[in-house]
Amino acid sequence: MSDVYAHPDVAAIVAFALQEDLRDAGDITCRALVPRGSRLSGVVRAKQAGVVCGLPLFAHVFRVLGGGVAVERCAADGTRVVPGDEVLRCAGDAGVMLMGERTALNLVQRLSGVASETRRYADAVAGTKAAILDTRKTTPGLRILQKHAVACAGGANHRIGLYDQALIKENHIALMPADGGSRGPAEAVRRARAALGSALIEVEIETLDDLEGVIAAGADIVLLDNCAPDVVRAAVRQRGDRRVLLEASGGITLANVRAFAETGVDRISIGALTHSSGALDLSLRCAPIA
C-alpha cells in the first residue's frame, strides 16, 4: 500500500478515535489546568523490544486538533527497537499534545504490536520460500493500518476485503452439489471462474483428494486448511511445477511455523498476526518549554 497515511480510511479512523475521547465537552482537564499558549516538548520511547509502526499518526492526530506541534520521527515503520530507544520527538502547543497523546499512542502501540508479531513469524521462516500473510481477522475499522503494519515488518497482505479477491471457503462449498461423494470445491471454482473471468480465485480444501479437481477447474491459489505439515508437503509434491500457489493456514504458531515453511509451501496465512497481537509498550514524557 503506497502512502497508507494519506488514505481516507486513516483520516476517518483518527477522526472517530478523537471524537470518542473528546465528545462535545473536549478535554476538561486541559481546560482547567493548561494555560492558553503554553508549550511542551516530548519524547516517545520504547519500553520493550519490538518493531515500531504508525509513528506518522502522531502528526496526523496533532494536525486534526489544530496543529502547532512539530514532530520528528526517529524511527521508520518496520524499525526494530529495544527498551529506552527514542522513536519520536515533538514540541509545541501543550493543549494539542495532551489532548492527542493517548489517541496517537493507542494506535501506534497496537500497530507496533502487529508489526512485532509479524517480524517474529517472518524471522522464524527466514531462508525458506514461504511468505507470511495476514487475513481479514482484523480489528473492525483498523484493517488498512493493521495490514500496513504486517507489510512493513516482513509479512505480506492477503486480500484487503471481499471486493479484491475471491476466496471460496467451506461455507460456500456447502452450497455446491456433491461431487464424487464429497462436497464440491471444484464445482465452486468452475462457477466462480465462469462468473468472474480473470479475477484471482482461491479455494479452501480440507483433503488432498480435492487438489487435482480445483487445479483443473482453474484455481489460482489453493488453501490447505488445518492440514498437518506432512499433508502440506504431499500437496507440494502433487502440485509439482504447475502454476498454482499453495497456502497453509489453521493451527499455525511460532512453535510450528518453521515446519510448515520447510514443506515448500508458498504462503502461510496467520490470523493471529492481527486478531491476537498485543500492544508494544511505548511512553510519551513531556517537559515544559520556557
State pLDDT tens for residues 88-132.
Answer: 999 999 999 999 999 999 999 999 999 999 999 999 999 999 999
* 153 — pLDDT class (breaks 50, 70, 90): very high
Mean pLDDT across the chain:
95
Q: pLDDT digit string (tens) for 230-244?
A: 999 999 999 999 999
Distance from CA of residue 66 to its chain's centroid? 29
pLDDT at 178: 62
Task: With a cut of 70, say whether residue 154 has pLDDT above it.
Answer: yes
Say what percent of the chain tops pLDDT 70: 97
* Residue-range domains of the chain with CATH: 4-122+277-288 (3.90.1170.20), 128-275 (3.20.20.70)
pLDDT at 2: 57
Q: pLDDT digit string (tens) for 193-237?
A: 999 999 999 999 989 999 999 999 999 999 999 999 999 999 999
Q: Which amino acid appears at position 169 of this protein?
A: K
pLDDT at 290: 79
Task: With a cut of 60, say whether residue 182 has pLDDT above it.
Answer: no
Alpha-carbon distance 44 to 256, whole Å? 35
Distance from CA of residue 159 to its chain's centroid? 11
Inter-residue contact 93 to 66 (CB < 8 Å): yes
* 179 — pLDDT class (breaks 50, 70, 90): low
Task: With a cut of 60, say whether residue 180 has pLDDT above it.
Answer: no
CA torsion sign for 196, 202, 205, 208 is positive
Alpha-carbon distance 203 to 224, whole Å? 9
Catalytic residues: 102, 137, 169, 204, 225
- Partnered with residue 246 across adjacent β-strands are 222
Say what percent of the chain tops pLDDT 90: 94
Inter-residue contact 214 to 186 (CB < 8 Å): yes
Which of 137, 259, 29, 223 has the alpha carbon at shortest distance from 215? 223
Cell, residue 144: 488498512
Q: pLDDT digit string (tens) for 19-68?
A: 999 999 999 999 999 999 999 999 999 999 999 999 999 999 999 999 99
